[in-house]
Chains A and B, each alone.
Chain A
Amino acid sequence: MPTGENGLKETAIIEMRQVTRRFGTILAVDGVDLSVRRGEMFGLIGHNGAGKSTLFKMMLGLEQPTSGEIFVDGQRPRGEAFRQVRRALGYLPENVAFYDNLTGLETLCFFADLKRVERATCPDLLAKVGLGDAARRLVRGYSKGMRQRLGFAQALLGQPRILFLDEPTNGLDPEGIREFYRILGELRTQGVTVILTSHILAEIQERVERLAIMKMGKICATGTLQSLREQMSLPLRFRIDRFDGDADVLGRLLRQTAETVVHESDRGTLVVECPRIHKMAVLRVLSATSGIVDIRIEEASLEDVFMGYGKERGNGETGSGMNGGRL
């Protein structure tokens, strides 16, 4: 995967330049520049109403930008030329809805017809997303998770080159989520570009290569999770369970070595926070301290990064939890 500025331009499959979308007085998308590389798994995160879905719809040609330029696979998302591109796109809308009077298989066959995909591939596709047994049942009786799976099967029709997945794991159980990402992983090895949005940050953070954080219609940061952490200079956390030494003494000792903050929780867990550059120095102090059985090192999570962008840049305040963050 080329990472240089030139390489990025050459392999960009989606390119947005100064894209703005206005609905009446509301500026849903405000001057977005975005470039997604061919074959990458790209995450778009943001609050509800941040403009993620509008951005998606513009990439798919469902909404036209008020100003700015969009290229998807080299084409502007409109007109006859884009119809050819559309055959190679998969889209799973947020809160996907189907026709209650059709069975899962009939639904998929209908979309297969529209996409010019062999109907014969439909049963296998349903089996792949775990709906093999429910293929001949009416969608009316499907649970939220099953509808989402059907939506995913629909997006996979015709082996798309680019997948647009808007909140794809909505309504899926943990097993379904794992299965979903397993299939995505498989697709990535085939060179499929995946763009997904999610508000469950813990779920998306280890699975995407690059991220864009969207707030109030603007993209406020783009990069790998690691680069975002570095941009934010978020602290590293050392968590020491069952600390039976003197916390004050340790705190003094640490502060002599590096810039650290030490908290002690009521259950005897000591948390030490320090800038990333002091990691090894702090580790040396901790390993020389008696009364420490185990240390857990926690990187700032995507949620911490996200919360950081919500506040003033450079404010070291971290979010409430390291995992399971939801927006």
Chain B
Amino acid sequence: MSIDFRQVATIAAKEFWDRIRNRWVFVTAAVFAVFALAIAYFGAAQQGGVGFAGIEVTIASLVSLVIYLVPLIALILGFDAIVGERERGSLDLLLSMPITRFELVFGKFAGLSAALAFSTLAGFGLAGMLLWYQQLDPSGLYHYFGFMLSAILMGMAFLSIAVLTSVLASDRARASGGAIGVWFFFVLVYDLILLGILVGTGGAVGGKAFPFLLLLNPADVFRILNVFGSEQARTFYGLATVFPQTLSDPWFLGLILAFWIAVPLALATWRFK
């Protein structure tokens, strides 16, 4: 079956403009900007002082925030995509158009991704510009861009999972429940389970597999990407010795995130029959 990208673009444009219209993009961007600035200013409070800390340390603090916030936002953004149309009663009409199910799912995903990317770039970008104004540092700027890009990729991975939830769920209530469940699992529970197994067995079980198991969670991939981005952050986390250098190649990790974006979306199209 061929893919008609004009159909994808039409669906994507509608999703994107819907989020501009209802101010979702602006509100989310504002939340990101406020959080980023607050963290940049108060982030070093544990070390006994406020004020803008170095950009590397700021990124490390932002990572801990974004790892909770972005998956949640992406899941909330996407859980409604298909099941919402179904429940509203507009899905049959949409599917009677000359459009394939893949084009519909992909168009929805692309439009929502654009909204999420726009908010992330605008919110963190604004904060980033203020930080940059404070201290000119080309290498810090490079890492900050990396941070924003990886945040977008992680958001897209969770968006992809949200769209899958939206296809599988029979109604909106179940879809939202499923989305929250996904968030709990990947963001809160997954690492605890891994840590529990490692500590409980004194490292006898899962020790070797530990780095690979982390790759099975897009939130962890995001964390690794940013933690290994800079020497300063690596020491900040104290993780440097646990993780093999080969697995911390940004291109490799980016590929893992791309995988996390493609697979749920492919499953969603397959199940959407």
Give A residues with C-beta under 8 Å from B. Answer: 57, 60, 62, 79-80, 83-84, 86-87, 89, 91, 93, 95-99, 101, 110-111, 113-116, 151, 154
Q: Does B18 lie within 8 Å of A101, measured CB to CB?
A: yes
B10 within 8 A of partner (CB): yes
Q: List which B43-96 residues lie within 8 A (CB) of chain A.
A: 88-90, 92-96
Q: List which B105-160 residues lie within 8 A (CB) of chain A.
A: none
Q: Does B90 lie within 8 Å of A115, measured CB to CB?
A: no
Q: Does A114 lie within 8 Å of B1, measured CB to CB?
A: no
Given A80-B2, A101-B22, residue A86 in contact with residue B97 (CB < 8 A): yes
Q: List which B4-38 residues lie within 8 A (CB) of chain A.
A: 4, 6-7, 10-11, 14, 18, 21-22
Q: Does B10 lie within 8 Å of A113, measured CB to CB?
A: yes
Cα A62 to Cα B1 in complex, Å, equals 17
Q: Does B93 lie within 8 Å of A84, measured CB to CB?
A: no
Q: A95-B89, A96-B93 are in contact. List 18 more A-B contacts (CB 8 A).
A: A62-B92, A79-B1, A80-B1, A80-B2, A86-B96, A87-B98, A89-B96, A93-B92, A96-B89, A99-B18, A99-B90, A101-B18, A101-B22, A110-B10, A114-B7, A115-B97, A116-B98, A154-B93
The chain A residue with its CB closest to the CB of B21 is A101
Partner of A98, one of B14, B22, B90: B90
Using Cβ atoms and an 8 Å threshold, which residues of chain A touch B11? 114
Q: What size tier do the contact residues of chain B reach? A: 20 to 34
Cα A98 to Cα B93 in complex, Å, equals 9
Q: Does B98 lie within 8 Å of A114, measured CB to CB?
A: yes
B180 within 8 A of partner (CB): no
Cα A96 to Cα B90 in complex, Å, equals 7
B258 within 8 A of partner (CB): no
Q: Does B21 lie within 8 Å of A114, measured CB to CB?
A: no
The chain B residue with its CB closest to the CB of A97 is B89
Q: Does B10 lie within 8 Å of A114, measured CB to CB?
A: yes
The chain A residue with its CB closest to the CB of B4 is A83
B100 within 8 A of partner (CB): yes
Given A110-B14, A114-B7, residue A93 in contact with residue B89 (CB < 8 A): yes
The chain B residue with its CB closest to the CB of A158 is B98
What are 10 contact pairs spanning A and B, CB under 8 A? A57-B92, A83-B98, A83-B99, A91-B93, A91-B96, A95-B89, A97-B88, A97-B90, A114-B11, A115-B97
Q: Does B93 lie within 8 Å of A93, measured CB to CB?
A: yes
Using Cβ atoms and an 8 Å threshold, which residues of chain A touch B1? 79-80
Shortest B233–chain A CB gap in Å is 42
The chain A residue with its CB closest to the CB of B87 is A97
Cα A96 to Cα B4 in complex, Å, equals 26
Using Cβ atoms and an 8 Å threshold, which residues of chain B touch A83? 4, 98-100
Cα A151 to Cα B96 in complex, Å, equals 13
The chain A residue with its CB closest to the CB of B92 is A93
Cα A110 to Cα B100 in complex, Å, equals 16
Cα A144 to Cα B193 in complex, Å, equals 53
Using Cβ atoms and an 8 Å threshold, which residues of chain B touch A151? 93
Q: Does B98 lie within 8 Å of A86, measured CB to CB?
A: yes
The chain A residue with its CB closest to the CB of B85 is A97
Given A95-B89, A101-B21, residue A84 in contact with residue B98 (CB < 8 A): yes
Using Cβ atoms and an 8 Å threshold, which residues of chain A touch B88? 97
Using Cβ atoms and an 8 Å threshold, which residues of chain B touch A91? 92-93, 96
Using Cβ atoms and an 8 Å threshold, which residues of chain A touch B92? 57, 62, 91, 93
Shortest A169–chain B CB gap in Å is 18
What are the 6 tightest A-B residue pairs by CB atom distance, in nearest-first order?
Answer: A97-B89, A86-B98, A114-B97, A91-B96, A113-B10, A97-B90
Using Cβ atoms and an 8 Å threshold, which residues of chain B touch A110? 10, 14
Shortest B94–chain A CB gap in Å is 8
The chain B residue with its CB closest to the CB of A84 is B98
Cα A151 to Cα B89 in complex, Å, equals 12
The chain A residue with its CB closest to the CB of B9 is A113
Cα A101 to Cα B88 in complex, Å, equals 13
Cα A95 to Cα B10 in complex, Å, equals 24
Partner of B95, one of A62, A97, A116: A62
Using Cβ atoms and an 8 Å threshold, which residues of chain A touch B2? 80
Cα A91 to Cα B92 in complex, Å, equals 9
Cα A99 to Cα B1 in complex, Å, equals 29
Given A79-B1, A110-B10, A110-B14, residue A115 in contact with residue B98 (CB < 8 A): yes
Shortest A55–chain B CB gap in Å is 14
Cα A93 to Cα B91 in complex, Å, equals 10
